[in-house]
Chains A and B, each alone.
Chain A
Amino acid sequence: MQQIEGGRISSFQVMCLLFLVRMTATTISFPFMIGHESPTDAWIGVAIGVAVSLVLLELIIQLGMKYPDMTIIQYSQVVLGRFPGKAIAFLLIWFWISDAALTIRALGAAITSSFMPETPILVFILLTVLLSANAARNGIEIVGRWGELVAIGVLVSGLVLVLPYRAMNFKNLMPVLPYGLAPHIKGSLTIIAFYMRLSIAWMIIPLAHNRKEVLRYSRYAVLLSGVLILGHAISLVTVFGSQATALAVPGFTLARQIFIGQFFERIETIPVSIWVLNAMVKVALDFWAAATGLSQVFGLQNFQPLAYPVGALAASFSMLFFESLVDLIQFTKHTWSIYSILLVIAIALILHLGSIIKNSNSRTIKPGNGHSDR
């Protein structure tokens, strides 16, 4: 099917982008363990979350692989018919824009709270939106190249998890499960919710050069981010003990704990700048997905004019939705996590079911829409 976006990206770039989309929440934004009932083994909740997400992601990615030539905006209309399909498209576009707003606000809050407290948050929000919208406007190839470099940087910045080895105390991991498993189920919801952001793969799979490899590479992305997230959790608990769940921007605080030799200290700006870039790439991808999605829904020839308006929407949402950092955290933890899981899984299930029904009805004509491609 005809794509509005003329660019093509490699499967490696797909992996990098998916990896970055997931890592944003861990590195830059949310204190994902705040208010956890049993801080010392918060990492167990993270582990459960990652494990569950691995299964759920198969559901998401497999849907994309069913129709490897189309974006979800296109095949939701093929599977469900015009109006239900468009409704799903709008839901997803809304999801991407609001998700971008969430990230932008979190990024701004992280920078203002830990680096430049005197500068108004709007400055950072506007700069981020301008940069990301510019990248999105240039197309997926540019976002992909940017993501490729930043992803390597984020991987290297994983050193932050090991470098504060002096401050680590593995006794902090004890006792294991003092309150049983039950509280961790709830804690793992946020972890799973952030993995739902990988549903953006529904937009980029048709643009990959070698679509057969995409499935494998997106599994790598999920695994890699899972390992890093778990590493973050363990590192935070061993360094900060029971205070770990009270940190505003845990990644930044962790990076501050690096002291090596007599002079190799206060290097947190290096990982933090990489993480800021990480968030920018993620926002750019959101903008790109929303802009191409909108232009596909309305049958426009070109998505580029929509990039900046989408960015402006996200910027104003990010200022309007949340009153403060606390508000943002509460919203993310209690509302957004459940909402995003429900939305993405429901869409995935509906489309899977729809395609199965459609295929069984039309088997006499053509055996499956996307399977023939494999």
Chain B
Amino acid sequence: MLKRLRKAIARKSRQFARLSRNKPFNNSQGRHTKRPLSEMLDVNEKRIRQAFGDSPDLVLRRIAIGKKGRINALVVHLKAMVDGEIVSGAIMKRIVDKTEGLSQPRMAYTNIRDRYLELTGIGEEHDFDNLLGEITSGNTCIIVDGVPKAIVCQVQGYAQRNISEPSTEATIRGSKEGFIESLPTNLSLLRRRIRNPRLRVEQYTLGEVSKTPVALLFIEGIANSRVTEEARRRLSQIRIDSIQESGQLEELIEDAPLSPFPTLLRTERPDRVTGNLLEGRIAILTDGSPFALIAPATFTMFLTAPEDYFERFYAGSVIRILRYLAFVLSLTLPTLYIAITTFHQELLPTPLILSIAAQRDRIPFPAVAEAALMEIVFEILREAGLRLPRIVGQAVSIIGALVIGEAALRAGLVSAAMIVVVALTGISSFATPIFSLGISIRLLRFPLMLLASTLGLFGILAGLAALSIHLFSLRSFGVPYTEPLTPFVAREQQDTVFRAPWWAMSKRPRFVGGQDDTRSAPGQVPEPPVLEEKEG
């Protein structure tokens, strides 16, 4: 059935692609015939004005340049997209001042392009549609009357957020920088961490309407060429009106679109991206989204945090094991509670089961209803806590803690043990470092609870077995999802459940494909200097 659904989805997407190629989304874009610029400035001006529909933020500034101001020129840009100071100081003023001795439009044009503008980013455009693209991405264009070309000055300057600490992936030790919404800034964050020309950036423009810049990053020589080739293929197949966030991109390129598990890792930490690039993976950055996508992603990557690598390896390993434990708890704790109180009371020590039975005696619901009720309440609280305005936060937390916890207990709605279980589950689920995995676990808990209430521990076992069969069948960009655990790769155990000390991890993960899998020279165990024998 899944296959049929997948086929239907594929068919729909092909239809959409065909549709979007044939029918332009608006009158100026989406057409693939070339429209060269006119030699007449008036024509060009009219066409630009038409294309933007007389938008108030479109600046069309006509200036007179050349000898006695005989040559007409046009400076075009969008108001809030460019750095105004540069445009007036470094472009307008210089053009007018410097071209005074020139009478030929072509002469003026080439001189402006090659000599007068003191900018690093200068381009040239012949095609009208491309020119519109340059304007919309925040460049200033200069058109000279009589020349069917335009100079493109890259003077983008728009308001952007400052680099701040990543809000969803905080660490104690390690860099405090997080990605922001601007692609150039994000690229600079990565370039600063890997100062090597082998860090390759390939730019794509996705979205027929939005024209969002998307960058594919990898390190030449370390990344597996099959993975990069596959990434290129998937990115270039996308036909959609717009890409607003990398989550949208993720759904369009992931391996298992119907699986509850994410097969691409998303992160807002530059150090996580560089770490993964150095292991031979690829990263995809989207303009307008502080989340980078990393592929191929394996299951254990979702349970690692940057601190594992920065703390000393004992702490790093123990914390990681703790996180695995929390992951298992967040998935199974409520289900175990249901199964044990309903079917397998003998599994608990006698005093504990007696106390739970005494509490449950007053509760009118079966354990599964009780657990489902509390879990849903908890999920609502969490969702509300995320959305609510800061000012009312206190009120909600009082309601959450007092009314739902204490009062529900006193009113005999739920048992105290249940509240402990729900609280533990909730806290454990926050220990998953990557939000996208945590969210799938939250979803999967409910069917498991149903299984536990009908079949007890065997139900949980069956559910988990089904889940693991599904996990084993997943692949991310050709790499088995559960890779270092099973298929068991002895060499990668250095960084799976335990994190070996850095001097012991001399090899990169296996899927790199043997291009260059040496991470560090072996035998770098630090040793104290040998003391010389005491004299006398």
Contacts and interface: CB of A to CB of B under 8 A. Distances in A.
A280 B465 contact: yes
B393 to A, nearest CB: 41
A146 interface: yes
A102 interface: no
Contacts of A280: 465
Nearest to A139: B473
B468 A146 contact: yes
A357 interface: no
Contacts of A115: 344, 456-458
Contact of A149 (B455, B473, B485): B485
B472 A145 contact: yes
Nearest to A267: B347
Given A144-B487, A145-B487, A269-B347, A135 B469 contact: yes
Chain A interface helix/strand/loop/mixed: helix
Nearest to B457: A269
B483 to A, nearest CB: 9
Chain B interface helix/strand/loop/mixed: helix
Nearest to A111: B458
Contact of A116 (B456, B469, B482, B486): B456
Contacts of B349: 263
A142 B473 CA distance: 6
A9 B473 CA distance: 13
A321 B178 CA distance: 64
A131 B466 contact: yes
Contacts of A138: 469, 472-473
Interface in A103-134: 111, 115-116, 119, 123-124, 127-128, 131, 134
Interface in A136-159: 138-139, 141-142, 144-146, 148-149
Nearest to A116: B456
Given A10-B487, A276-B461, A145 B455 contact: no
Given A149-B485, A269-B344, A142 B458 contact: no
A13 interface: yes
A276 B458 contact: yes
Nearest to A272: B457
Contacts of A258: none
Contacts of A144: 487
Nearest to A134: B469
A119 B468 contact: no
B472 A266 contact: no
B470 to A, nearest CB: 9
B365 interface: no
Interface residues of A, number: 31
B255 to A, nearest CB: 14
A90 interface: no
Given A12-B488, A148-B488, A276-B458, A134 B466 contact: yes
B98 to A, nearest CB: 68
Given A12-B488, A134-B469, A144-B487, A127 B457 contact: no
A138 B482 CA distance: 15
Given A115-B456, A266-B347, A142 B461 contact: no
B462 interface: yes
Interface string B302-346: 000000000000000000000000000000000000000001101
B480 interface: yes
Interface string B338-365: 0000011011010000000000000000
B455 A13 contact: no
A127 B458 CA distance: 10
B458 A116 contact: yes
A127 B459 CA distance: 9
Nearest to B347: A266
A277 interface: yes
A141 B487 CA distance: 9
A297 B230 CA distance: 36
A13 B466 contact: no
A273 interface: yes
Interface string A1-26: 00000000110110000000000000
A268 to B, nearest CB: 9
A266 B486 CA distance: 30
A134 B469 CA distance: 8
Contact of A148 (B346, B457, B487): B487
A145 B486 contact: yes
A139 to B, nearest CB: 8
Contacts of B472: 138, 141-142, 145-146
Interface of B: 343-344, 346-347, 349, 455-458, 461-462, 465-466, 468-469, 472-473, 480, 482, 485-488
Given A115-B456, A116-B456, 7 more contacts: A135-B469, A138-B473, A139-B473, A145-B480, A273-B457, A277-B465, A280-B465
3 A-B pairs with the lowest CB-CB distances in the bound complex, closest first: A145-B486, A145-B472, A148-B486
Interface of A: 9-10, 12-13, 111, 115-116, 119, 123-124, 127-128, 131, 134-135, 138-139, 141-142, 144-146, 148-149, 263, 266, 269, 273, 276-277, 280
15 contacts: A9-B487, A10-B488, A12-B488, A13-B487, A116-B455, A116-B458, A124-B458, A131-B466, A135-B469, A139-B473, A142-B473, A146-B469, A146-B486, A149-B468, A280-B465
